[in-house]
Amino acid sequence: MPSYLSIEALTVSYGGPPVLDRVSLDVERGEMVALLGSSGCGKTTLLRAIAGFVIPDSGMILIEGRDIAHLPPEARGTAMMFQSYALWPHMSVADNIGYGLRMRSWKKDAIAERIEEMLKLLQLEGFGSRSVTQLSGGQRQRVALGRALAVSPHVLLLDEPMSNLDYKVRLELRHELRALQQRIGITAVYVTHDREEALTLSDRIAVIDTGRIVQTGAPEEIFHRPTSAFVAGFMGADNALDLILTGDGAFATGAATAGGSRVRAHFRSDAARLAPASAAASTGEDLVLQGIVAQSVYVGQGYRYRVRADGAEVWVHAPERVAEGTPACVVVPRTALLLFPQDSKPA
């Protein structure tokens, strides 16, 4: 059975080099999919293409099997929540929420009823007659969500809706939004550059890099089994080393060793251990890097250390304080290493 929302080989170029390059993505009914990537990667363009604000060069966007790629935005049945909320300042909260229904020629009392329902759903009861300019950031965000949900869209599109909020409000709303989405079972596509947001909010994540989807999967899968060095780095495994994997399963660092295959290794700073300097060498179990603590940063729950080791620099998390300049070694369990083949020799 085909997916509810299906994007096939979508290419968008704005007349220059492609911003989206033959992107394909399937979203099931009731699913929340996060489009994750750094700014300029094309994730917002993909969202805007689904909404109809960007005309693709080629490819298809299907909702329940119907190609909507060339319909105007107003005929698509998608509802978008914007980064700036885009609430209309000359209208009240109720008028903002009810606008889409007015465009669908609903009767007045039906609109009023639906507005009340939305206000209740979003815990904004009694706010209907207020001007949107009098609301806090969190409340505006809810009104924007209510405006999008009121029309019961086929697909809810969210363009970094939390990025203008305080950290604390963001955390709260994140859980609220997820609970709400699951409760009403709406299909949603969520654009973000925040991996934590993507992990906590979505059923599946599509990681985008320079106009291509590089990996799609459940949050756990993306987090633990990234298929490329880019995804590993983006998901927080930002320590990167060039290693040589020798025939007997042991590691060697540096370029001196002959034989074996070159790999790019990524690991998270909290998966490694900082140990006193010793003569221990890498084994089949652990990768051991000898080095010197170059910088220490207090991060609340322990410390983060920048360790200069074997010509590379890695970050390690440790609970105790170690003075800068102390010789130390970094121990990375084999299981915490994410290894990727190297296509080309490092310069």
Partner 1 sequence: MTAPMGIFRGRGVALALIAPALAVVGLFFVAPLVMSGVVAFRGKGGEFTLEHFRKSFDYYTTDLLFTLAIVLLSTLLIGLVAIAIAGYLTLGGHPRTVAVLRWLYRWPLFIPFVVAGQLMRTFLAKNGMLNHVLIGSGLIEPLSAQSLLDWRGIVVAFVWKQAPFVTLLLAGAMAAVESQHIEAARNLGARRLRVLVDIVLPQVRGTLLVGLVLSFVTMLSVLSVPLMINPNSPTMVTVDVAYRISTHGDYPVANALCLLSLALAAIGAVFYLRHAAAQVEGK
Residues near partner 1 (CB under 8 A)? 51-53, 72-75, 78-80, 82-84, 86, 88-90, 99-100, 103-104, 147-148, 151
Return the closest-CA partner of residue 23 out of 68, 50, 70, 59. 59
Q: 231 phi and psi, to 5 degrees? A: -65, -40
Q: Residue 132 or 208: which CB sits closer to partner 1?
A: 132
Residue 121 CB, nearest approach to partner 1 (Å):
18
Residue 164 CB, nearest approach to partner 1 (Å):
12
Residue 160 CB, nearest approach to partner 1 (Å):
12
Please give the single-letter amino acid code of residue 205.
I
Q: Residue 106 or 340: which CB sits closer to partner 1?
A: 106
SS3 238: coil
Return the closest-CA partner of residue 140 out of 131, 149, 151. 131
CA distances, 126 to each of 68, 94, 139, 245 (Å): 38, 10, 12, 65
Pairing label, strands 261-267, 239-245: antiparallel
Distance CA(156)–CA(118), nearest Å, equals 15
Q: Residue 51 or 119: which CB sits closer to partner 1?
A: 51
Residue 312 CB, nearest approach to partner 1 (Å):
44
Q: Residue 18 or 100: which CB sits closer to partner 1?
A: 100
Residue 341 CB, nearest approach to partner 1 (Å):
43
SS3 253: strand
Size (the chain), residues: 347
Q: Residue 112 or 218: which CB sits closer to partner 1?
A: 112
